[in-house]
Structure 1
C-alpha cells in the first residue's frame, strides 16, 4: 500500500476501543490489511493511557495481547467481498 511504502508496518497491528469488541470487524481488518490484529486486555487502552499522561504518569502500560486475529482470506477476496457488500447496501434508506 502507499502507506507501507512511506512507513514500513510490522507484522501485527494493535487496536483498541469499541470496535475491537466486534470480532467480524477485527477479522475483516486482518484480512484486508493482511496483518495480525492484536487486542489488549483493556479495550479502552487509549483512554486509559491518555488519562495517565494527563496525570503525569509516564510508566508504559504494556500487557500481552488478550486476543489475536490472523488473516484468513486473501486480500483480493476480502476486497471483493467488501465491494459486494457495499453494492448490495447502496440505495438502502
Structure 2
C-alpha cells in the first residue's frame, strides 16, 4: 500500500503533516508454547514525516504514583501536547527495552 499524507479512520480525516503518524509493527509469538509470555518489548513504531514537521511531544502532566492492593485497579493520568495521545508503560528493567 502507498503511504500518503492523509488517511481516513472512522470518518475522521487525519493529516500526517500536522498530526504524529507512525508505521507500527507488532511481534506476535506462538501462544501454544507453554513457556510463552505475552510481551510487547519487540514492537516497533516508526514515525512518519511528510513535509511540515510534527511538533515534538511536550509532556504537560506526568502520571502520579499510586498504590493499590494486588488485583485492584490503579488509575493514572498523563497528558502531552504535539501528539494526539500519550502512552506510559511500566518498565521492569529501568527503561532499557
- Per the TM superposition, whether the score is higher than 0.5 is no
* Larger relative helix fraction: 1
Work out which of the two has the higher radius of gyration on C-alpha atoms and give 1 or 2: 2
- Which has the higher relative contact order, 1 or 2, with Cα contacts under 8 A spaced 6 or more apart? 1
- Report the TM-score range of the alignment, normalised by the length of the smaller protein: under 0.3
